[in-house]
Amino acid sequence: MNKIAVSILNCDFGNLNSEIEMINRSDATWFHLDIMDGVFVPNISFGFPLIQAIKSKAEKPLDVHLMIASPDRYIKDFKAAGADWLTVHYEACTHLHRTVQNIRQEGMKAGVALNPHTPVSFLEDIVADLDLVLLMSVNPGFGGQTFIENTYEKAAHLCEIIERKGSKALIQVDGGVDTNNIEKLAKAGINIFVAGSFIFRATNSIQTIKKLAHETPMKR
């Protein structure tokens, strides 16, 4: 079964409790929370109070994706708010190895995200220390964008690096994931699929998550 991380960015925040309960009852693996600061990306999402509220009701781990500048300042705060997995952007970290160490020292799983233009080869020296690599298949900042086709090639290249380095890192993809491309992504080596607008715009969100989760077996 595919691991589905449901992005709440496109959920109905006026009915947040029912949306959380829907995800709890579904075949989703994680809640995916996109944190945006209006600096690293041209959008603002939500902060610690909402993360805490979701954590109090979520029955699945919180996968927190930081699209923010200087993420090191807030690592302890995200742990306190309830993050189980914390992913920072390669492009936002001056001392990436130190940042990854700090995340792990707080007891969270550590991930690194790459923007569409950033080569996966940049992770050669750190991938063995990661629990997760997130490939952005759209430019970060907004939901509902068109999937970037070069992602398949990047995923295959990343698989090769992970295997060669003896890393146990999972590969996650975020942006434009739907039933038309999830099988090809899985065959390219993706382990975890972030989906938001495709799920929340569907007539039946639980059935949509189920279809994504069972679309095709994972390669790795």
Catalytic positions are 34, 174
Q: Are 169 and 191 in contact (CB under 8 A)?
A: no
Tell me how far CA of residue 94 lies from CA of 76, 140, 200, 205, in angstroms: 18, 19, 36, 39
3-class DSSP state for residue 73?
helix
Neighbouring residues of 73: CB distance < 8 A, sequence distance ≥ 6: none
In 50-118, the DSSP E strands lie at 62-67, 85-89, 109-114
Residue 128 parent element (H or E)? none
Burial state string for 3-27 with b = 16 or more CB within 10 A and e = fewer than 16: bbbbbbbbbeeeeeeebbebbeebb
